[in-house]
Each structure stands twice: as structure tokens, then as C-alpha cells.
């Protein structure tokens, strides 16, 4: 366990914390989930939001963890995730 230098919450994994939990990245995360909602629909957005931080981070990086999307949807998801990850790394790390 470590403490985040940005928001002072305790985290298990730094990347998962910054991507899925950190208060400092919350506006980026909100924008990312809005884009997911627009591109892939509300059901997919809610499925992704319900995942735990580690699974969601792995999913953003391309691991085949539920929810399983179609090829087109998965490519859109990975593209949006890549843009979000790069923004988070630039902004937070």
C-alpha cells in the first residue's frame, strides 16, 4: 500500500489509482466516460464503471477482460482508452 502524492488516498497500484480512482484525474475520467457513453452507449459505460480499478486498468490496456465487445466497439474503446491514459500520465505522473 502507498499514499498518493496528488490526493493523499491510499492505493494498491499507482497506475490503476491514477486511471480509475485519483481525485486529480477525475475530470479527465469524467470526460473519458462521456466519450465512451457517446461512442459505445450507456450500457457499456455502466459495465466499465462497475469494474474494479485493477481490472479496468488492464482492460484499458487491452487485456481481454469482461465486458467483451465486438471488434469495432473494442477498437473504439482501446482508442479512447489510449488517449485517456496518455492524458493521465502527462497530467498526473
CB of 91 to Zn ion, least distance (A): 12
What angle separates helix 53-60 from helix 71-92, to the nearest 10 degrees?
110
Counting contacts by CB under 5 A, is residue 51 touching Zn ion? no
Q: Contacts with Zn ion in 4-33 (CB under 5 A)?
A: 4, 6-7, 22
Size of the site for Zn ion (CB under 5 A): 4
Counting contacts by CB under 5 A, is residue 65 touching Zn ion? no
CB of 70 to Zn ion, least distance (A): 33
- What kind and span of H or E run contains 2? strand 2-3
Cα–Cα distance measured from residue 56 to residue 48, given in angstroms and rounded to the nearest whole number: 7
Amino acid at each position: 500500500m502507498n499514499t498518493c502524492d496528488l490526493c493523499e488516498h491510499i492505493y494498491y497500484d499507482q497506475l490503476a489509482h491514477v486511471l480509475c480512482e485519483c481525485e486529480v484525474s477525475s475530470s479527465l475520467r469524467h470526460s473519458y466516460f462521456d466519450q465512451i457513453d457517446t461512442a459505445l452507449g450507456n450500457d457499456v459505460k455502466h459495465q466499465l464503471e462497475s469494474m474494479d480499478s485493477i481490472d479496468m486498468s488492464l482492460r484499458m490496456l487491452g487485456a481481454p477482460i469482461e465486458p467483451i465487445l465486438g471488434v469495432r466497439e473494442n477498437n473504439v474503446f482501446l482508442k479512447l482508452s489510449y488517449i485517456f491514459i496518455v492524458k493521465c500520465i502527462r497530467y498526473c505522473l
